[in-house]
Amino acid sequence: MRQILATLLLGLLWSEQHVSAGSIPFHTLASNIGEGYTGRLECSLGDSSDKNGCRAKKPPLNSFSTNRNYGQNWECKWGYRQEDGLCLEINVPVNGYLDDTGKSWACNRGFFVSGEKCDAIKVPLNGYLRDGSSKSGWECDRGYLKEQDKCLRVVVPKNAHLIEGFSFKGWECNRGYRKVKKTCSKVVVPRNAFLTGDPYPPYWRCNRGYRKITDTCVKIIVPRNAHIKYSGADWACNRPYIKKNKRCALSEITK
């Protein structure tokens, strides 16, 4: 304890002899490092030092103070961007506007960014603008398909209708018809069958209790002690019977 008090007393005596009230430059702070006062002076945050002491850094033109006590204590004003310690004005092209940050620009609706300017999006006949700032920021009206930079009319055949999806626009055949090249042909449904609506052949399925044979539905003959399976297109033996040839018989174990 006596040693610490002695060190503090010596430090105070040194500061009175070497650092008077008028000798500490503006924007300086006394530094306490280790045990006791070292007598060294440090510059305040955001200031710079030279042989004459500490000097406050002057914020660049078109900036404002953030009053922060850490890091850079200034920022560029709205409409200016920081570059090499300066605040440079943002050049907004014709048909453009400053974005929400005020540090960059974007193009108005109907225009796209092309280098340092905003070029108009060319919407073809039977097309319309969609949200976005790309050159291809347009879509075709219903009933038209995009083909390079044009909108071509979709030719819908008889017994078909227009469809639109996330990645496909065109036409498909009505229920009960199947696509054959650029036409729709009627699906022939045999007796004891029904349309499934599947997009692949045969487009129909036999009723429960009937089996598909070529293009017909044949009735399933169910033997004694058997039942129609879950699929509806075959039969199985009741327990404890087992299938043997085309009938159901008891196994040797259960006899």
- 20 lies in a domain? yes
- 215 lies in a domain? no
- 22 lies in a domain? yes
**Nearest to residue 208, comparing CAs of 223, 221, 219, 198?**
219
* 77 — pLDDT class (breaks 50, 70, 90): very high
The whole-angstrom separation of Cα 131 and Cα 145 is: 18
The whole-angstrom separation of Cα 83 and Cα 76 is: 10
Tokens 């639109």, residue located: 164
pLDDT of residue 122: 93
Whole-model pTM over 0.85: no
Which residue range(s) make up the domain with 34? 1-57
- 23 lies in a domain? yes
Q: Which two tokens stand for residue 255?
A: 């006899």
- 35 lies in a domain? yes
DSSP 72: -
- 87 lies in a domain? no
- 25 lies in a domain? yes
- 49 lies in a domain? yes
Give the count of domains, the chain: 1
pLDDT of residue 200: 87
Residues 6+ apart with CB under 8 A from 193: 204, 205, 206, 207, 210, 217
| CB-neighbour burial class of residue 26 (10 A; exposed 0-12, middle 13-18, buried 19+) | exposed
Q: Tell me: the pLDDT tens digits for 132-151?
A: 667 778 999 999 999 999 99
Q: Tell me: the pLDDT tens digits for 21-44?
A: 444 444 444 444 444 444 444 555
Residue 208 has pLDDT above 60, yes or no: yes
